[in-house]
Amino acid sequence: MTEDLRLLHVHAHPDDESSKGAASTAKYVAEGVDVMVATCTGGERGSILNPKMDRPEVLANISEIRRQEMDAAREILGIRQEWLGWVDSGFPEGDPLPPLPEGCFASLKVEDAAAPLVKLIREFRPQVVTTYDENGGYPHPDHVMCHQITVAAFEAAGDKEAYPELGEPWQPLKLYYHHTFHRERMKALHDAMAARGLESPYAERLKDWKPDPENERRITTRVECAEYFGVRDRALLAHATQIDPDGGWFTVPLEVHQQAWPTEDYELARSLVESELPEDDLFAGLR
């Protein structure tokens, strides 16, 4: 029964839920699946990436504004959302890299940082959990830590010996990693733009991006969700400090994106149920 299905996305910052897997989220919500997003940090150290929002009063209130943006995206996607309560680590830059800020999310012990997620899993009781791969999708320390605590919580939530104070055990059945920004998808979008005589935003990036068949083979599950790309875009735009409406996110027209790459793509990393690969549904084997 679809109404008994529950999906938990674990993300590092507010806006990640809209840039990774948002269209498939909207599809599952429309089907009656109960979808929750766990947001590890408040995005307190995030930069303002939309020039129109780069104002002193915004920067001074960035924590509250990013919470308001998350509320707006949550309403658009039709999801539930919980904050895990950790502090954004920022993206360290330089050579050598500076130390992480004291007390930030990525500086914590995995077993400590996983505790609120274990509690949430036991309360929400999802059959399916998603997060990033071991590289974080990209090497932001919060994304890497998000991966680590999600894998730890997936295993610990069903173990009655682990975190006994955090509620009755619940074992999720499938764990997926997002594969959003992979070369095969970028190449298809690039080629579709070129075929229409349009300038591709990916030309420079693809020039030195060599094919990686091993990485492409990691994708096991492609969810058809093109009709929800518009919902994804509206959720993205709700994060106004992070998303420039005139920037690269929207260079590829919606109809081109829908035709050239109509899926969102995942890797089945762990499963306690039988399903036939490749899949077209995160709940394959559970319906």
**209 found inside a domain:** no
**61 found inside a domain:** yes
Task: Name the pLDDT band for 2 (thresholds 50, 70, 90).
Answer: low
**197 found inside a domain:** no
Range of the domain at 31: 2-180+217-271
What is the CATH classification number for the domain harbouring 176? 3.40.50.10320
> Is 191 annotated as ligand-binding?
no
pLDDT at 39 over 60: yes
**87 found inside a domain:** yes
pLDDT at 12: 98
pLDDT at 1: 57
Residue range 185-195: average pLDDT? 97
**233 found inside a domain:** yes
Calculate the average pLDDT of the chain: 96
> Is 13 annotated as ligand-binding?
yes
The CA-atom distances, in angstroms, between 46 and each of 18, 112, 118, 147, 156 are: 16, 23, 26, 19, 30
**What pTM was computed for the model?**
0.96
The count of domains in the chain is 1
Residue range 153-167: average pLDDT? 98
